[in-house]
Structures are given as C-alpha cells and as structure tokens.
Structure 1
Amino acid sequence: MRLLQCTTGREHIQHLRIVLLIFFTTIVCGAQSTPLIDYHQHLLSPEVAKLIGASGTFSASDLIAEMDRAGLRKAVVLSLAYQFGNPNRPPVQDEYARVKAENDWTAEQVKQYPDRLVGVCGIDPLREYAVAEIERCAKNLYLRTGVKLHFGNSDVDLDNPAHVGLLRKVFQTADRHHMAIIVHMHANVTHHRPYGKKEAEIFLNQLLPAAPHSVVQIAHLAGSGGWDDPATDEALSVFLHAMADRDRRVAHVYFDISGVAGLGDAWESKKDEIVSEVASRIRQAGVRRILFGSDGAWTGFTPVKAIAAYHQLPLTKDEISTIDNNLAPYMKVTKQR
C-alpha cells in the first residue's frame, strides 16, 4: 500500500479515504497494483462542451471523485483550449480570447486541488498566437508544467514544411521555459492524413532536436486510441529503434498508454493478439518510459475501467508495479518550480 503524505483537516480525511480505498481494492482484486498518477486526463468546461456538442460538463471535483474510485493519487489535466482552433470545425469568434479563457478555466479548476491535479496548457501549434500563449502559460503556476498539442484536432501535417517550421518554434518555446510537451502525434483520421514511419522520422529528426531538454510525452503509444491501425505501430517503431540505439534525441521521450487497452473496434475480436503486441512494444520501449493514462472520463471510459483494461495486458507484476509508480521528470519538479 502506498503511503500518503500526512495532512490535517479535510485534506487528511480525503487522503485517508484514498488509503482505505486502495487497501480494500487490493484485498478484493488479489493484490492488484494501482497507478500512482493518471498522466492523461481532461476536464470539460461549459464552453468546450457547447463547442463539441457534449451533453454535460466535467469539473475538477468530478475528476477527483473518479480518481478516488480508482485509487489514483494524482492526475495530469490537459487543457482542451486547442479545440477552439480546430480547423475541422466552424471558425469561432474571438478565438484567441476563448483559448486564453479556456486555459485560465483549467488553471482555476486545478487550483482547487493543488496536491492532486497538475495543469497543462493547451494550444493549436499552427495558430499565430501559439508562441504567445505558451509564453503566457509559462507564467501561470497551474499551467506552466507543460503544453498539450493535438496533431489530429489541429490537422497538423508533418509532410508540410511550413507546419514543421511552426512546430519547431513551439517546441523551442516550450524548451526555453522548461515545459513538458504532451503530444497526440497521430495525424487527423477523418481526412486520412498521412501517418506512419515517414512522419515519425520527421518528428524524430526535426522536432525533438528543437526541444532537447523538454520531456516529450507521446500520447496513446503514438496512436489515436485503440490498437487497430498498422500506421501506429509503424510510427512507434521509429522511436523504439532509436531507443534501442540509445539515440540522444529520444533521451527524454515517454509514452502514455491512455486509450490503448479496452478501446477500438478490434479490442473484443482480436484481444489476445492486441494485448500480446502492446505488451511487447511496452517491453521494447522499456517499462520506465511508460506512463499510465485513461483520457477523458466523461466519455464513460473511467479510470476504473481504464485500469481494468490495462491490467489485461500480459505484463509481469514487477512490470506493472514499475509502470504504476513511474514518475515523469516533469512531475518531480512541479513542486519546486
């Protein structure tokens, strides 16, 4: 059972509840390990809910309740502000003002639970305000840990030199401010943008050198959720080969496994094949580079469900324990910055 830092008053009671939850979950589930941190979570503000047509909102208190049910100690909250720049949606008025407001809303939500939640600034890296917004977020205690980029939602094309040039500026700015870069790297699925070995090599050769000091967390094991797209494995293999060669460009690269196990059209029909292949890729990367994540809980795929799916991967108890307790470098310095 993981020991929690002692506090007083209401926080102490809350922490005690988590300890008891982990204790009883361990008994019921046969001493199954529980992740320390969910490295890929989102909140849903009224503005974003309206923008994407969601039926309700999802606040910090809602997330904390889900974390308590799962026995999670902390979560990294990735702002959805980049949704306002999504070129595949109708343009919004005063776009940058709404991006700033969304990032600020996320910061205020995180501020309510500073010992449990860590906020990350969200931007569309192709927008003219991208660098300015990173600079602004870097001054906010509750956003300065990192930057979230979503290549799919922002319709980033790594085969387009102009896009790569803008991305390099974003990576350089994050690096200058010692901010982590959390990136949904998979290209837009709806428009069938090219994605695979070539695009991963561009990322490796042109983007990673622009942020040599920043932690780069590649979401969904380089995919877009599930494990039924051969292009994902193609892209992932580029990084795995670089890691095997001890390439310095991938020294600070990590992968979160949010949305990989338990989702996708092929999960039920090809589960045995999928879990075997995913476990193999995790071992190739090295379990110390793997971060647990579950993604937006308002979709119904809650942390409890994500943990249950992740535990179906044929990993050893020691491997699961290592992943569950992995501490990304950007989490180690959050308190001191």
Structure 2
Amino acid sequence: MSRRTRVTSRLSYSRITDLVVPRSRYSSMIATCSGRRTNPARARRSVHTETDPQRPAAGITHTHMPTAPSSRGQWRRSAMPRRAMPGRSRRVPGVKSVAVYVTPAHQFLLGMAMSLRRRTALLHWARRHGAAVIEDDYDSEFRFGGRPVETLHSLDGGRHVIYVGSFSKVMLPSLRLGFLTAPAPLRRALRTAKYATDWHTTVPTQAALARFIDDGLLARHIRRMRNIYATRHDVLTRTLTGRFAELTELVPSAAGLHVTAFTRGPLADAQALADHAAGARASGVAIHTLAEIAASRRARPGLVFGYGSISARDIEPGLDRLLRP
C-alpha cells in the first residue's frame, strides 16, 4: 500500500464518527454533539452489547412488539427480564424497567410511526425513572411522504436515548456496519463491552465508508434508491387498495421496505390464510403471514409484503398469484 493510500485511509477513518451519524440528515435530522458517537459497528451487535447474557439484570427491559425477529432473539438470549410492549399500546413501561427498545420511525412490522404524543410520554417516563430508551432507526432513510419523523434522540437531547443505526438496508446487506450514539454516562461501559465482545470492527471497511459519505455518494445513492422504492411502494399499495380491497385492509405506512395488510373475506381465517400462503410459496411467491413473524401467535390474520428486492413490474403479477383463488 502506498503512503498516499495509507494517509487517505487514515484521514477518512479519523473523520468517520463525524460523517456517519450526520448522514441521518437525509431522514431523521438527528442532532449530535462531538464525542457522543462510537465507532461504527454492526447495529445488531450494538443490541447484543446492551443485552449481553453475562451482564447482571438490574431490572426489566421492555421491547416494542412486534419487532424484528433478529432483535427479538437478542432479548430472548439475554439474562435481562423482559416484557413485550404492544405496538399500539398507549401505556408507558412500569417503574422497574431499566430500558425500552423501540423502532419509532417505522415500527416493525406494522409500519406505523410512533406519534409525537407517545414519544414525548416515553421520554418523560425515561427521565422520571432514570431509564434508557434504545432507539433503532432502521431504514428510515426511505420515507415517501410527509415530513421526516424527528428522532427520540433529538427530542431528548441525548440524555436517555441510545440511538442505533445501520447501513445494511441503506446500501447492501453484506455491509455489516452500523453505529451507536449514547449518553455520556454509558459511553465507557459501551466501549468496554464492544471491546470484550468482538474487539473492533474492521478498519478498512469503515475507512471506505467514510470516504463514500465524504464524497457525497451516500446521499446520491439514497436519493436514487428512495425514488425506486417509492415507485414500488406506490404500485403495491395502489394494487392492494384497488383490485384486492375486498381481501386486504392496508395498514398505512409511508416508509421502509415493506407494508402490512390485514386480510378479510375468505382469508380472514388464520388457518385458511396459512394454507393460502403455503400454496403461494410453492408457486414461487415469497410471502410471510403476520402470525409467522409477530411475537404473539394470536396476531390478527394478515400478510407482510416486502418490496426491497422485486421490480415494480413484477409486483402486480406476484399479487395475482398470491391473492387470486
């Protein structure tokens, strides 16, 4: 490696914490102060660090359910007592809770955003009880309508919110890089936990990402992909609310890479829906029911439609194969 290449990589890496988190100006407008960021690591690894089975449990952790199976698995493997907090619950956690894990910009898997009133109530609770809120801001760069949802971290000023983000959906799944923004009292413990868990994240990849951001290529990529995903989102929602309105009740969502719809009519029965989905898979349609992903097996019958890896022209034919008798 030439000296010029080494210096360039070093300069890019030295700026990475100043480049990574402000990337959210394309989505959540997160406000940060120097020193509050940790070097990028896998976002799910960040969750693992927070829920390490070797750490003693000091209270109850609430998770905003339903949530992504990968994150839910981290909580199940941890030693911390936990309780599910329903996605549409109006309650705040109990006094004994020490942390709450939420996805307020695009709740997985129903897709709605947490209202400002509920976000404010959650932050009041965290301040009152000295608890932490872990905010997973996954795929919020892809918002197709309305104003960006202000992050809990910005509303809180970084006092009680641990903000977690990832580049896996923004760029590509094999890029296992993310970042974590933590309040000052937690930074030393988080750095120690990160070091004990996997020492460090690969430096060359971080340096390359810093250069990619610094050259404005990430912003250009997000703008391009947002237009592509917006087209797919429009085709999918328009078809579900039009041709298949008698079979589906769309859950309003204006962000992310999937939409959810409750089923009705002949597909309102859970077993009938499961059999129908199994038949669709056999014919080459990739689909999941709500019951397969939700934390509770008593989930209302419904389907989760992902459009991250399907072209817009294939969406309607796929829905025909899935929903037509």
After TM superposition, the score normalised by the length of structure 2 is 0.28
What TM-score results when the alignment is normalised by the length of structure 1? 0.27
Work out which structure has the larger RCO, using CA pairs closer than 8 Å and 6 or more positions apart in sequence.
2
- The higher radius of gyration belongs to 2
